[in-house]
Amino acid sequence: MFKSYYKLFLFFGILAMLVNCANRGMPTGGEKDTEPPKIRYSTPDNFTTNFKGNEIKIYFDEYVKIKNAQKQLIISPPMIPAPDIMPLGSASKFITIKINDTLQPDTTYAFNFGQSIVDNNEENPYSYYKYVFSTGTYIDSLSLKGAIVDAEKREPETFVSVMLYEVDSTYTDSTVYKSRPKYVTNTLDSVSTFSIDNIKAGKYRLVALKDENGNYTYQQKSDKIGFYDKEITVPTDSFYEIKLFKEIADFKMERPTQIAKQKIQFGYYGDNRDLTIEMMGDKPDGFEQRIVKDAQKDTLYYWYKPNVELDTTFFVVKNKGYVDTLKHRFRDLKVDSLSIKSSTSGSIDFDADFSIEANIPFDKLDLDRISIIDKDSLNVDFKTEFDTLRNTYRFKFDKIEDNSYKIQFLPEAITDFFGKVNDTLSYTVKTKKFSDLSDVRVNLINAEYPLIVQLTDKSGKVKYEQFADTPRMFDFRHINPGAYYLRVIYDTNANRKWDTGNYLKKIQPERISYRPDIVDARTGWDTVEEFTLLKTDPDPPKN
């Protein structure tokens, strides 16, 4: 019996040793490759002068490929048509650049590859390799440095093109719309600073673009732009900060479209504040029109009554100096039925108004058929404001904590543009306890008035704001707890909103300052936040 147990124990012991030996002997594949590829040589050599050819080869010690070249590779001055860069989508031990553009005489060209050169296996990047050559007798070595900031947002945009235009006899302010720059660089995706290198001495204009089309020309509808106000003389030791902003597009009205009976849609670009739309031709007696703006899009809805018995007509659109005549063909479509909704549901902030909106223009409101009653069944006094362009009614009333308010519209309280009326509508909103909310006091130091103080969320959406044209404390009372960002808008024209810039008019956007630390509005807490502002913008660089 003992011998049987001994043999069994010996068998399992030998088996365990074999397994252990087998594990120690299995190959691991070696350590992961973390080394970037290395350049062996290039033809012609980097920093070649009197360059005459149209092909460059760069040789590496291992197989490489080009990754994300469209964003990462920056060629200065830009080449149009762009050169062919190989390999794309495959691997090779050398990179080939075939130049398709006619090179300018006595000019230094630079290919900055960013993070686009990677090895074939682990994609370790050969970071920021630059190949430079000159068609002249020497390499231009001057540079210009600066940083990009977003005029409105806390964080700057990525992949911003920063461009220098040579100020010569052909340069005008409109050059940025139609011609490529003399030199260009890009902030890529990691930093907001830039350096334009290998430039020659001279006078330049500095412009930055969030170039959505990648064509180095300014497209007002899609691109953000920033510019330095004055000519820059190179060489310079100054550091240039450029504010990137989205312009309000030049006004343009699109062709009208019938989308419902007696409802025509007009899409537009730009500022619609002084817009008029007039239907031409004979119109029925008692003809009326109303224009309502879409809440989300740059779209206007032209409502009219009674119906027009025409196949086609013309509309004359005017907006300041803009005049256009647009042809419209009528279509026989169904009539929209009246739909009313509230913009508020559930809880309501103490500084917010209850409001309603409709898909058809409001015409009349019978206040005797409207009531607001609190939780103790007491009537609450209210006032109304009507925004005709946005087709909304706002109901203003005093609120107390931990209360509920029932807003009721009896039948025929609301009459729309076509004489239709509502059925009974009831809405309920509630206020929270003060102890469940937070109070934040903001004390500004070195403030310049008029200004707007805002609390925003992480995405930049404004949650609370106050305007002031004289010094005071800013008390945000009974706000929802949470993490907020504090920003101050220098509202120089006192119109109570942030105004963007204009490139052709050489108007910079209104200044915005962000407090770097988050405002922690805690439940049941009173918080005092100080924000020290610069008295003026920093002194501009001196050439």
Beta-strand (E) ranges in 256-379?
Answer: 257-260, 263-269, 275-279, 288-293, 299-305, 312-319, 322-329, 340-342, 346-347, 354-358, 362-365, 370-374
CB 336 within 8 A of CB 361: no
Give the strand pairing for 362-365 and 383-387. Answer: unpaired
What is the spatial distance between Cα 408 and Cα 413, in angstroms, rounded to a whole number? 9
pLDDT at 145: 96
pLDDT at 495: 96
What is the spatial distance between Cα 423 and Cα 409, in angstroms, rounded to a whole number? 8
DSSP conformation letters of 111-123: EE-TT-EEETTT-
pLDDT at 218: 96
Q: Which residue has the tokens 């830009």?
A: 78
pLDDT at 18: 45
For residue 317, what are its two tokens? Answer: 């659109």
pLDDT at 277: 97
Closest CA to 184 of 259, 76, 107, 34: 76
pLDDT at 115: 87
**pTM value surpassing 0.85:** no
What is the spatial distance between Cα 360 and Cα 417, in angstroms, rounded to a whole number? 7
DSSP conformation letters of 182-210: SEEEE-TTT-SEEEEEEE-SEEEEEEEEE
The reply to whether 437-532 shares the fold of 252-329 is yes
Residues of the chain with pLDDT under 70: 1-33, 190, 536-543
Q: Does domain 142-244 have CATH number 2.60.40.2580?
A: no
pLDDT digits (tens, 9 = 90+) for 28-78: 555 666 788 999 999 999 999 999 999 999 999 999 999 888 888 999 999
What is the spatial distance between Cα 443 and Cα 449, in angstroms, rounded to a whole number? 14
Q: Does domain 39-134 have CATH number 2.60.40.1220?
A: yes
Burial class of residue 162 (count of CB atoms within 10 Å of its CB; 0-12, 13-18, 19+): buried
pLDDT at 536: 65
Question: How far is residue 281 CA from its own chain's centroid?
Answer: 43
For residue 10, what are its two tokens? Answer: 């010996």
Instruction: Specify which residues 48 forms β-bridges with.
Output: 133
Give the strand pairing for 438-445 and 526-532. Answer: parallel
What is the spatial distance between Cα 377 and Cα 34, in angstroms, rounded to a whole number? 73
Q: Does domain 340-432 have CATH number 2.60.40.3780?
A: yes
User: Phi/psi of residue 434, each to 5°?
Assistant: -60, -35
Domain extents in the chain? 39-134, 142-244, 252-329, 340-432, 437-532
Four-way CATH pick for 437-532: 3.30.70.990, 3.40.1390.20, 3.40.720.10, 2.60.40.10: 2.60.40.10
> CATH top-level class for 252-329?
mainly beta
pLDDT at 2: 40
